[in-house]
Amino acid sequence: MYDLAGADPLLRFSPYCWRTKMALAHKGLEVETIPWRFTEKDVIESSGQGRVPVLLDGDKVVSDSWEIACYLDEAYADRPALFGSADARGAAFFIKRWTEAVVHPALVRLIIADIVKIVDPKDAGYFRETREKALGASLEDYVAAKEENLKHLHAALTPLRLSVKDFAFLGGESPSYADYIVFGALQWARCSSPQDLLPEDDAVTAWFDRLLNLYDGLGAKAPRPAAA
């Protein structure tokens, strides 16, 4: 699997790659991750698009994290299900849309200026230019109102907080793909920024810790940048 890496090849911070690595672990499938940088578009040309994750399974090439999750449940139907039913897949699709439309933008407001510090030097210009154009501001100005942005993130996480205070996982007693989608967002922040964004006494933090510790601490063991 092509997995986004920083200047330090051990820093793996893509939210989409994280949900996919958790999905592979859930299925009990071993994966070799290949560090990939934003500007290495030629390396993943066979996927027909310029984004990671890209999964190579034998001679099959699957891109897009959602497509990969659907592929894994179909191709490895005898292993633990990521969705379990068409209804669960529909609910997970809503979680994907909510995470990408609400949680990701709230995190961008906090971490985008930290990400540019950890990307590979050959990616730094591309990253700054494309993101500043999309955001309509310098990365540093975009994150300037930290206290306000943090409050906004915690408010945005309210539906998750109210769900996981009563259930261990969005999947109920055990994690499902919906958990990995939101986990990927918070793990993106954890692996690209030295800031601790979640308060200690919060049901979201307890849920995130449960996910960090799954699969022999796959998420917990992932390196994160040191504070400057």
Ligand X SMILES: N[C@@H](CCC(=O)N[C@@H](CS)C(=O)NCC(=O)O)C(=O)O
Q: How far is the CB of 117 from ligand X (least distance, A)?
A: 16
Q: Is 38 in the site for ligand X (CB under 6 A)?
A: yes
- Segment 44-63, which members bind ligand X (CB under 6 A)? 50-53
Question: Which strands, in side-by-side order, build the sheet including 54-57?
Answer: 34-36, 2-4, 54-57, 60-63
Q: Is 33 in the site for ligand X (CB under 6 A)?
A: no
Interface mask toward ligand X for 168-207; x: CB under 6 A: ----------------------------------------
Q: Is 16 in the site for ligand X (CB under 6 A)?
A: yes
Q: Is 64 in the site for ligand X (CB under 6 A)?
A: yes
Q: Whole-angstrom Cα distance, residue 195 to residue 114?
A: 9
Closest CA to 83 of 101, 97, 95: 95
Phi, psi of 5 (to 5 degrees): -125, 160
- Binds ligand X (CB under 6 A): choice among 29, 56, 66, 224: 66
Q: Whole-angstrom Cα distance, residue 16 to residue 50?
A: 13
Q: Is 2 in the site for ligand X (CB under 6 A)?
A: no
Nearer to ligand X, 64 or 211 (CB): 64
Beta carbons of 38 and 4 less than 8 angstroms apart = yes
Q: Whole-angstrom Cα distance, residue 116 to residue 71?
A: 32
Please give the residue ranges that form the binding site for ligand X (CB under 6 A).
Answer: 4, 14-16, 38, 50-53, 64-66
